[in-house]
Amino acid sequence: MISLRSSRNQDGFTLVELLIVVIILAILAAIIVPQFSAATDDANQAAYDTNIANIRSAIDLYRQQHNAYPGAVAASGAACVNGVPVAAAIGEPAFLAQLRNYTNSSGDACTGTDPNQFKYGPYLKDDLPNNPLGDPANNTVTVVTTGVLGLATGGSEGWRFDSVTGEFIGDE
């Protein structure tokens, strides 16, 4: 016999069921979101380690070929046959000129190579990379000649280099 009461179909979720799902999603989000920031920090640290290792290798190779660190002597802009001479004062300009261009044994820089004179380098294929732990848009290098590099005070958050000791660090 058919009942006079008709059974109703349940068409949706109850408010309690929806609240349980929202609470579970909130708990999962609270667990997962911090993992993304940790992954970003790990990636920045890995990029920093790679960049600083590459730059230190370039500095060491320059030191082996010139018996001085880049930036310790000025690049005087001596005449070069196959390029443009690069004149740069002691410090950051000489550091960058001597690592980015061909150099002779005295540290003068030239944009072109010359097998008789400008036969060393370039030591960096591209520009100086950014410091991912500092200001990511800043790839400047502060060159000091004190023999004590230490930490920067109000620094540029780029790089720091001591042309006496050869110490190269990120300015954080």
**Tokens of residue 44, six digits:** 């920045």
Rounded percentage of the chain residues whose pLDDT exceeds 70: 85
- Would you place residue 160 in the very low, low, confident or very high pLDDT band (cuts 50, 70, 90)? confident
- Would you place residue 25 in the very low, low, confident or very high pLDDT band (cuts 50, 70, 90)? very high
73: in domain: yes
The mean pLDDT of 142-147, rounded to a whole number, is 74
113: in domain: yes
Number of residues that make up the chain? 172
58: in domain: yes
The mean pLDDT of 143-165, rounded to a whole number, is 71
143: in domain: no
24: in domain: yes
Long-range contacts of 144-149 (CB under 8 A, 24+ apart): 145/72, 145/90, 145/91
Give which of 130, 80, 79, 72 is closest to 99, Cα–Cα.
72
155: in domain: no
What residue numbers bound the domain in which 64 lies?
Answer: 16-129
Q: What is the mean pLDDT of the chain?
A: 83
The mean pLDDT of 69-93, rounded to a whole number, is 84
Q: Please tell me which residue, 111 or 145, carries the higher pLDDT value.
A: 111
pTM for the predicted model, two decimal places: 0.73
- Residues 86-101 have pLDDT tens digits of 888 888 888 989 999 9
8: in domain: no
Distance CA 155, CA 131 (A): 13
Distance CA 92, CA 141 (A): 6
Distance CA 25, CA 60 (A): 53
Rounded percentage of the chain residues whose pLDDT exceeds 90: 24
Q: Please tell me which residue, 117 or 171, carries the higher pLDDT value.
A: 117
Q: Domain count of the chain? A: 1
